[in-house]
Structures are given as structure tokens and as C-alpha cells.
A and B are shown apart, each in its own frame.
Chain A
Amino acid sequence: MSGSADLLQIGVSGLLAYQRSLASVGHNVSNATTPGYSRQTVDLQAAPAQLLGGNYMGSGVQIEQVRRSYDSFLTAQVRTFTTTHSQYDVFHSLASQVDSLLGDSQAGLAPQLQSFFSAVQGVANDPSSTSARQVMLSEAGSLADRFHSLDSQLSGLRDDVNSRVQSTVGDINSLATSLAQLNQQIVSAQGTAGGQPPNDLLDQRDVLLAQLSEQVTVSSIPQPDGSVNVLVGNGQAIVLGSRSVSFGTAPSPDDSSRLEITYDTGASKVAVTSQLVGGTLGGVLDFRKQVLGPAQNALGRIAVGLADSFNAQHRAGMTLDGSLGGDFFSVPDPVVSANSNNTGSGSVSAKVSDPSALTTSDYNLAYDGNNYVLTRQSDGKTWTQPGSSYNNVDGLTLTLSSGAMSVGDSFAIRPTRGAATGLQVAVTTTNDIAAAAPIRTVAASVNQGNATISSGEVLDATKLPTDLSLLPTFHINFDTPSSYTVTDQSGNLLSNGSYQSGVDIDYFKTNLGLRVQISGTPQAGDTFTVEPNTLGVGDNRNALLLSGLQSQRILDGGSTTYQSAYGQLISSVGVSTHQADIAVTSYAASLEHAQSARDSAAGVNLDEEAANILKFQQSYQAAAQVISVANTLFDTLLHAVGR
């Protein structure tokens, strides 16, 4: 066969080629907005020539392959920035919830703290007024409520984190399953097509990988058969060819309120939470570790510090009924939870022994067979000792209250976590507010010297009887201007000493925990009296000391007031949120760049496609013309022969 038949063949090959080219343009136009779609082009090549009469004659056109414009580096870059962007995005959106919760000028802790202390000043201004005392009690109740509401909102976020972890893990699992299936389809499609790539399936797999990269850091390793192996986080394999693994969630062994991500090896469930970084999952986990935990602990620490210091001062005062003050607030002891994998019978109890030394960290106590190792979680500092009791470490006192720990047992100690929720006002009636000091002093009116006695100060209230009416009246008698005796109301000699102006009188300090000073020049025969402050309802000395606590530096080793501790909390959450905000903006820009670079190579440009349509249409018309010419040639021949 040669001649016009050849020309017909060549024309037909052109028609077919341009039909397919036009079809691929149509495919491109239709998928112009399909996410992850890579533009396809039909690569044409000249059909092998035929040797005719010693010359190679062209035999038309043929399709070499349908090629997708794809750059694996650019696609991987988009995935990387997607991971980082979504990590900071979710971190930012969660952290800004804490940020605006704590920083709210009305709903934050600061205004309520101020109202409470103003109410204490109100009692100091008018100590016997029931209404002033009632205001102080209600403000104290509101303060406790404010702690509860802030803490419960933070706990709400903790639940939110858990449900996000759960749903993200579910997403990751279903994506892994789909990826494994696609791998299988691609391997078989590629086999069927004799090695030609199934472009649309490959695009679809890239879309799934992009979706996975939103959830967690992803790396993919292409295999010779066309499948990819997928690793997430710090190299945790999740898809191997057509097989995928799935993750689960389980409460942490030492904190049931914290969900851990587990991987079922068949033999056991291994916690892989720390392996899974980046993406939504990484952002949520970072938020829990860097913002939520510290914020809740810092709030709790303010509650512990407030309750403890206020109680200590309140116990040194006298109530309207004339008894020694009790605790004003009640605050729960540190939370100790045994690791659920513990095998020993030991149980550990913890107490706050020095609120000023408390940190906002959680702790872990573990037994390694020889030593009890206490670890501070925030910075990993450890204390190691053979005994199980720790005394006043970071303000904590730990005791093995019963049983014994086995090797490998551990306890999680959270000194401040539950404090904000557990803070309660212990005083219930206005009479029980201890605004007065428990004692008063009197200089006898017959005294001839110019010596004066201080009004008395409580150093250690535990040495005083709770019922102050049991406290006797003490007399300090100057037998000479330079020496005195201390006697009780019946005249029994209790102590004697030599007089020094302005120095604590030993007897009261040692036996009653009171600081009583006489200064000036007494004369022989002068007498001073220290007596219970019976009926001293107009006394506001203890209320003044209580209100002074507001500006006293109590927390953080005596460097921080309650208010500034709260300020620190706000600014540290603010800094985290601010940094995340900057990161979101800058990674959004990087992501945009990466996407542009990818789209530049792989995206569909409609104008370009329009031009291609024109081009292929014209070529198609030309090929049709060739067929027409072949037909004419054939007709001419028939006409010549058939005459």
C-alpha cells in the first residue's frame, strides 16, 4: 500500500492525535479549579518512517504519552509549609482563647482580686460593722467563683484538646487507609498500562498526602512499583505500600485527664505522642504542653499562695466572738496520682509546706530500686535520694504514706492544678472574720516613767489558745528602772529579765509567740499589762495586716505579689499567642509562595488552554483537509480508470 492510502493513514493519525490533544485541553479546562490537579499535555511524536524506494517517508503522528506537569520538590515543599502553617494556626487559635479569657479586663482575675482587697480595707475602716464584714465575705465568695470559672474554662479547653486529638487521630487513620488503597490502585493501573503513569490517581494521592500534612508532619518515600511509603511525625511509618497502620488514643497512665496517642504493636500499646509533631496534631499537643498546663498551674499557684498566706494572717487574729481566727480559705492538697502501671502497694501524699517556693511545674516521683527520684517536669531537674520522703522541695513535702513502691513505680504530683477549682471560702459567718489582734497592752496610769509599750504583734499564733479568754493577763513590773518581772494575774512570778529599750520581751516571744516591746525610760514601780483583747470589736489591727497582703511579695520566693503573678501569667500566655500569631502570618506567606511555585508549574491557565484549543482545532482542520485531499486523489484516479 502506498500513495493516497498512505496519505489517508497520515491524515487519520493527525485527526486522532489532535482529537486527543483537544480532549486533554478539555480535561484541563474542566479541572481548572480541581484541588491538586496537575495540568496534562499530550506529547506527540512523529510516527516511525517507512523505507520506500530507498527513502524514508514519514507516516504521520503518534502519541508518545500523556504527561502531567509535576514537580515532586515543589509539591513536597507545599506539604512542608502546610504542616507548619496548620500547626501554628491551631496553636494560635487555642492560645488566643486562653489569652482573651485571662486578659479580659472584666472577667479576668485582676478586677476581682482588687474588689476583694478593697472589701478587706472596708473591714479595716469599720471593723465592727456587720455590713462591711458581709461585703468582705461576698467578695471572697466572688473571688473563689472567679478562680473556679477561669479554671473550668481552662479545663474545658483541656477537654477540647482531647477531642481534637481524638478526631485528628481518626482523620490520620482514615487518610492512611485511603493512601494504602490508592497505592494498590496505582500499582495495578501502572502495570496494566505498561508503565504509563495513571496521572489522575497520582494527583489524587498527592491530595491525600496534602490533607495528611495538615494534620501531622509527613514524609513520603516513592517506591519503584509506583507506590509511596508514608512516615508521619518523627518517622513513624503509617503506610507501607498497600498496608496501613492505625493509631489509637488512651488516657495517660499518670494523668487520666490527658489523652495519649498509642500504636498497637500487637503485643502492647506503645505511647507515640512525643513522636507525632507538626500539623494540627502537633499544634494541639504543643498548646497543651506549653500554654494550657502552665496556665492552669500558674492560676492554681496564685490560689494556693493567696489561701495560704491569707489563712496564716487570719489565724493570727481575733474574731468578733473573741476566739482566735481560723482558716479563711480552704484549698485542696496537691493532686497525687499513681501511675496506672504501678505494681507496688505504695501511696504517696503531698502537702504544700512553703507556698512562696512553689513553681508552676508538675512533678514525678519514681523508684528505681535503689533511689527515689523526683523529677521536675518543666525543666527535667531531678533530685535523687534513697529515702522516700522529700521535705520542702520547691515548697512541697512528699511522704510515702502507706505501703511500698516497687521498682519502676511512679507517681505524678500536680501541686497546683486542682487548687483554683478547689478554692473555697472557709469562713461562713461575719463574726468569724478575724479583724482584731488577739491581745492588747496597757500602761498603768500610775506609771511615773515615760516608757511606752508596743501594742503587741503575733509572730506565731499556734502558741496561743484558740479560746482567747483562757489567756491570762500578764503584768510586767519594773522593780528597778533596769529590770522587770513578768507575773500572771494571780501574782505568780513567770519570768524576769533586765530591761533594754525597744527589744522583744523574751517571755512573750518564747511562750506565746508574741512580740511585745517596751521603749523609753521606766521608773521603779511602773507596770505594764498584756491581756487578751476581750470585747476588742473596734480593733482593726489584723484587718490592716490582711489588707497589706495585697502588696506584699509572697510568691516566687518572695519576689511577686498575687497581682503581679497573674500579670506574669497573662504576659507569658500573651507572648506565646503573639509569637504564634507572627508564625501564622509568616508561614501563611511561605505557604502561599510554595503554592504559587507549584501552581506555576502544574496549574491550569485558561488563556493558555484557549490558545491550545485554537492551535489544535486548526491542526485538526488541516488533518481533515489532508483526508479530503486523499479522497480527491482517489476520486481522480477512479475517474481516470473508470472512463
Chain B
Amino acid sequence: MRISTEQMFRQGANAITDQQANLSKTQLQLSTGQRMQSPADDPIGSAQALQLNQAVQMTQQYQTNADSAVNRLSIEDTTLDGVTNTLQRVRELAVQANSGALANSDRLAIAKEVQERLNELIGLANSKDGNGEYLFAGYQGQTQPFAQTATGTVTYNGDQGQRLLQISPGRQIAVGDSGQAVFMAVRDGNGTFATAATAGNKGTGTIDLGSVVDPTAYVADTYTISFVTNSSGQLAYNVTGATTGQVIPPPPADPVASAQNYASGSTITFNGIQLTITGQPVTGDSFTAKQSSDHDIFSTLLNLLNVLWKPIDSPASAAQSAQGIGSALANIDRALDNIDNTRAQVGARLNAIDSQKEVNDASSLHLQETLSQVQDLDYTEAISRLNQQLLGLQAAQQTFVKVQGLSLFNYLR
């Protein structure tokens, strides 16, 4: 084929510029470490890289969220630990006060400390987190949740809201508990029903916490155990439910004449529950066992204070004091149980966050690996390609010079 001189120049020059373009692309790849310089280099890969990048960053955000959740839950846990210590101290004080050998002045000293502990408890319940928000106020983070009224009772001004944080695409975790759940919603008595001596009882009878022995037979009601003198002239008792009516003696027996004989310490069993009254009540005394309801920790302490402030001046007042301290102890135990449960939940959440963080770390690593496969350069391949292209460019330049040096005109003299 006939070749024109212009054509030879053009082909030589084109070969050099083509080689240079390839070389410059490889150079750019090597200097950035990226396989794709723009989406056009691999449209599908770059869309994939975009998704993967987003997933990596979202996972990082979930880790940040998880850290923030751990912070808040740790503060809550520490605070609840303080609450447990305080309550345990109060419990010790109550046990101490319950030993009959104390003088009234000692009881007042104990009352003083209980008062201090109550204030401490209110302080703990009003704790703030690292951002200055109240821990136990529900959604109302800027509203002080617990306040003492003029009469001494403590009211809850928060709500039952619980904040959740996103720690994985499909998982939200609670990072707090409302003051309602922690301090207010404590079932009194034994959790099913609460016993009490009626104020003004003249005898020395006290009632224990009681228990449910047959849950299927249990009927929720307010039961009154009244002491009467029965037809045989014995001190006896009958039991009446506010809605279920007469229970002991079983109807239609006369509640007074056929009332059950009383012996101190013997168990009283009805409708699936079992109670024990000890001591010596007198006719006209009564005791109640009513369905448990929420009783806040503060009023438990206030009730204890009221008992301690009252001087013991008679066997009856001693019995009332013992009864009051007994039910306070029961309620403190219930409160401790409640705090323990809450702490167990907090611990469970912390564990869950821990394992979720590990999962997030693993998936973040996996995502980054995939991302690297999609967008990163294979250096070995690129460097050998660079060498090949350098060689190619050199060859193109050398042949160009050599071929262009040949001309017949060189020999025309």
C-alpha cells in the first residue's frame, strides 16, 4: 500500500498521544489509589460505591448513637446504685428501730437520719445526665421531676415517656426509665395485696405480710378481718370482702355468732391467701388486706418517719409501731426489688448495646472490605500496566524518530 508522508507523521504522532493518554490515566489511578476516576469509568461500580459509603457512614453514626446510649445508661446505673445504697441504709435503720429496746429519743435520732436519707433520695431522683437533662423526668427533660410539697409529700411532675436511640438499622434501644417506673410504681405489701392494722386498734395484735397460696382461688378485693366475741364468748374474727361479702365464717352463718376462734399466730386462710395475726387484739380491732397498688418510695419513707416520730407509750402503740415499721420494711424491700429490676434492665440494655456494637463493627469492616474491592486499585496490576505503557511510549517515540529520519532527499545532492 502506498503511504503518504503526512500519513506517516500523523500515525506516528497519534500512536504517541494515545500511549500518553493511557499512561496519564494509569498515573492518575496510581497517585489516587482509586480504580475509578469518575463514574464513567465504571457506572455500576460507582453507584455501588455510593451505597456502600452511605452504609459505612450510617454504621459509624449507629456507633456514635450507641456510645451516647452507653453514657446515659451508665449514669442511670450509677444513680440507681446510689438509690440502692440509700434504701439499704434506710432498711438497716428501720430494722434497728424495730428492736423493742429503743428509747423514744433513739427513735427520734433514727428518724433524723431517715429524714436525711429521704432528702438524699429526692436528690438522686432529680439527677441530671451529661447534657444537663433530668434522668428520670420522662420526656420533660428540663422539668425537675420530683418536688416536695409543703405537707412533705413528694410529687412526680414528669411523664411516662422513655427515650429510644437508633443503634442499628432495625433496632432502637431505651436509654432511660421514667421516674414513674423507677420511684413511683412500686407495688406495696407483698406485691399482690397489702395488709394493715386499722388506726385506733386497742389491742397488741399485728398482722404479717401474708401470701398468696393458691393464685387460682385468689379474688382481688379489700378484705377486713374484724375481731368480735362469738357465741361461745371467745375472741374470734370474721372476714368480709368489700365486694365479695362475707368470707369467714362462710355464709349463711352469722358473722358474729359463728365467728372463727382466734389464737395468736395461727394462720387465717381464705380465697387463696394466707395471713397470720399475732399478739392480742381486742374486740373491735380490725385489720385489712387490700389489693396492692402503686406506692412511691418517698411516701414509704415518710410513713416510716411518721411511725418513728410517734412516741411509744403503751403496748398498743408499740404494736402500731411494729406494724408500721413492718409494712415500711416490706415496702422498702419492694422498692429495692424494683430498683434491682430496673438495674437489671439497664444492664441488659448495656449488654445488648455492647453486642450490637460488635455486630456494627463487624459489618462496618465487611462493608469497607467490599467498598475497597469496588473502588480501590489493584496496585500489582496497575504497576505492571504502567511499565508496559512506558515501554510502549518509548517504542513509539523511537520508531517515530527513526522512520522520519529516512528520506530520499537525504541522498539528492
B54 touches A611 (CB 8 A): no
Chain B residues closer than 8 Å to A606, beta-carbon distance: 5, 407-409
B154 to chain A, nearest CB (A): 13
Q: How far is the CB of A323 from chain B (nearest CB, A)?
A: 16
Chain A nearest CB: distance from B189 CB in Å?
Answer: 13
The answer to whether residues A547 and B166 also contact, given A440-B159, A536-B140 and a CB cut-off of 8 A, is yes
Verify if A596 is at the interface (C-beta below 8 Å from B). yes
Shortest CB-to-CB span from B70 to chain A, Å, is: 12
Given A128-B141, A537-B140, A570-B39; A110-B412 close (CB under 8 Å): no
Least CB distance from A207 to B in Å reads: 14
- Within residues 5 to 44 of chain B, which ones have a CB less than 8 A from any CB in chain A? 5-7, 9-11, 14, 38-44
List the A side residues contacting B412 at CB < 8 Å: 610, 613-614
Name the distance in Å between B390's Cβ and chain A's nearest Cβ.
21
Query: Is A62 interfacial (CB-CB < 8 Å)?
Result: no
Bound-state CA distance A322–B38 (Å) is: 48
Is B57 at the interface (CB under 8 A from chain A)? yes
Q: B394 in the interface, Cβ–Cβ < 8 Å? A: no
Instruction: Count CB-based A-B contacts (< 8 Å).
Output: 204
Q: How far is the CA of A523 from the CA of B292 in the complex (A)?
A: 13
Residue of A whose beta carbon sits closest to that of B411 = A610
Chain B proximity mask over A519-539: 1 for CB below 8 Å, otherwise 0: 000010000000001111111
B11–A596 contact, CB under 8 A? yes
Inter-subunit contact A581/B40 (CB<8 Å): yes
Q: In chain A between 577 and 625, which residues have their CB closer than 8 angstroms to a CB of chain B?
A: 577-578, 581, 592, 595-596, 599-608, 610-611, 613-614
Interface of A is mostly: helix
Partner of B14, one of A110, A445, A578, A592: A592
CB-based contact A535/B184 at 8 Å: no
Least CB distance, A367 to chain B, in whole angstroms = 41
Q: Could you jot down 23 A-B contacts, CB within 8 Å? A: A33-B9, A103-B38, A117-B58, A118-B57, A118-B61, A121-B61, A125-B68, A442-B159, A536-B161, A537-B139, A537-B142, A539-B163, A540-B164, A567-B48, A570-B43, A571-B43, A571-B46, A578-B43, A596-B11, A601-B2, A605-B4, A607-B5, A610-B409
Contact indicator A599/B131 (Cβ below 8 Å): no
Per-position contact with A for B44-74: 1 when CB-CB < 8 Å, else 0?
A: 1011101101100110010011001000000
Q: Known contacts A592-B14, A603-B5: does B166 contact A539 (CB below 8 Å)?
A: no
**Counting CB contacts under 8 A, is B119 at the interface?**
no
Query: A567–B407 Cα gap in the complex (Å)?
Result: 57
B-side residues, CB < 8 A to A, are 1-7, 9-11, 14, 38-44, 46-48, 50-51, 53-54, 57-58, 61, 64-65, 68, 131, 133-134, 137-143, 159-166, 169, 172, 180, 184-185, 220, 291, 293-294, 407-409, 412
List residues of chain B with CB within 8 A of the CB of A550: 58
Task: Categorize the interface residue count of chain A.
Answer: 35 or more
- A440 B161 Cβ-Cβ under 8 A: yes
A448 touches B (CB below 8 Å):
yes
Question: A535 near B4 (CB under 8 angstroms)?
Answer: no
Selected from B48, B166, B220, the residue in CB contact (under 8 A) with A124 is B166
Does A257 sit at the interface, judged by CB under 8 A?
no
Closest to A613 in B: B412
10 nearest A-B pairs in the assembled complex, by CB-CB distance: A603-B4, A538-B141, A574-B43, A574-B39, A577-B40, A536-B139, A539-B139, A610-B408, A571-B47, A103-B39
Nearest-CB distance from A595 to chain B (Å)? 7
A595 and B10 in contact, given A538-B141, A578-B40 (Cβ under 8 angstroms):
yes
Contacts A537-B140, A567-B47 supplied; 14 other A-B pairs, CB < 8 Å? A99-B39, A114-B58, A117-B61, A126-B68, A128-B133, A445-B184, A446-B293, A455-B161, A523-B220, A536-B161, A538-B134, A538-B140, A539-B161, A551-B169
| Contact of A441 with B39 in the complex, beta carbons under 8 Å | no
Within the assembled complex, what's the spacing in Å between the Cα atoms of A57 and B320?
Answer: 164
On whether A563 and B50 interact (CB within 8 A), knowing A445-B180, A581-B40, the answer reads yes
Contacts of B165 in A (CB 8 A): 124-125, 540, 544
CA distance A95 to B134 in the complex (A): 56
B160 contact set on A, CB distance < 8 A: 440-443
Question: Given A535-B142, A605-B4, does the pair A126, B131 have CB atoms closer than 8 Å?
Answer: yes
Assess whether B58 is in contact with A538, with CB atoms less than 8 Å apart: no
- Judging by beta carbons under 8 Å apart, are A536 and B159 in contact? yes
**Distance between A130 CB and nearest chain B CB, rounded to angstroms:** 11
Residues of A within 8 A of B47 (CB): 564, 567-568, 570-571, 574
Known contacts A128-B131, A448-B220, A567-B51: A102-B39 contact under CB 8 Å: yes
Q: Point out the residues of chain B lying under 8 angstroms from A607, CB to CB.
A: 5, 407-408
Residues of A within 8 A of B57 (CB): 114, 118
Closest-CB distance, B49 to chain A (whole angstroms) = 9
Q: Is the CB of B39 within 8 A of A577?
A: yes
Q: Please state if A446 and B38 are interface contacts (CB–CB under 8 Å).
A: no
> A550-576 toward B: CB 8 Å interface, digit per residue (1/0)?
110000000000011011101111110
**What separation, in Å, do the CA atoms of A566 and B408 have in the docked complex?**
62
**Contact at B408–A538, with CB atoms within 8 Å?**
no
Q: How far is the CA of A596 from the CA of B142 in the complex (A)?
A: 83
- Report the Cα distance A567→B48, complex, angstroms: 8
Q: Which residues of A contact B41 (CB under 8 A)?
A: 574, 578
Output the least CB separation between B395 and chain A (Å).
19
Cα distance, A592 to B18, chains bound together (Å): 13
Q: List A contacts of B53 (CB < 8 A).
A: 105, 110, 114
Q: Does A100 contact B (CB under 8 A)?
A: yes
Residues of A within 8 A of B44 (CB): 571
Taking CB atoms, residues of chain A closer than 8 Å to B4 are 39, 599-600, 602-605
Instruction: Judge if A59 is at the interface, Cβ distance under 8 Å.
Output: no
Docked pose: A550 CA to B51 CA in angstroms:
12
Contacts of A103 in B (CB 8 A): 38-39, 46
Query: For residue B141, which residues in chain A have a CB less than 8 angstroms away from its CB?
Result: 127-128, 537-538
Is A485's beta carbon under 8 Å from chain B? no
**A32 within 8 Å of B (CB atoms):** yes
Give complex CA distance A535, B141 in Å. 8
A574 CB contacts on chain B under 8 angstroms? 38-43, 46-47
B11 contacts across to A, CB distance below 8 A: 592, 596
B185 cross-chain contacts in A, Cβ below 8 A: 445
Rounded to whole angstroms, the CA-CA distance of A604 and B2 in the bound complex is 10
Among A105, A127, A455, A575, the residue within 8 A (CB) of B43 is A575
For A125, list chain B residues within 8 Å (CB).
Answer: 64-65, 68, 165
**A538-B140, A571-B46 are contacts. A600–B408 as well, Cβ < 8 Å?**
no
Q: Counting CB contacts under 8 A, is A359 at the interface?
A: no
Chain B residues whose CB sits within 8 angstroms of the CB of A416 once the complex forms: none
* A33 with B6, Cβ < 8 A, contacts A128-B141, A443-B160 known: yes
A436 at the A/B interface (Cβ < 8 Å)? Answer: yes
Contact of A599 among B6, B38, B46 (CB under 8 A): B6
Residues of B within 8 A of A501 (CB): none
Interchain nearest-CB distance for A3 vs B (Å):
38
Binary CB contact string for chain A from 130 to 156 against chain B (1 if under 8 A, 0 otherwise): 000000000000000000000000000
Of all chain A residues, which has the CB nearest B135? A538
Is the pair B137, A538 in contact by a Cβ cutoff of 8 Å?
yes
In whole angstroms, how far apart are the Cα atoms of A614 and B140 in the complex? Answer: 106
A129 sits at the interface (CB 8 A): yes
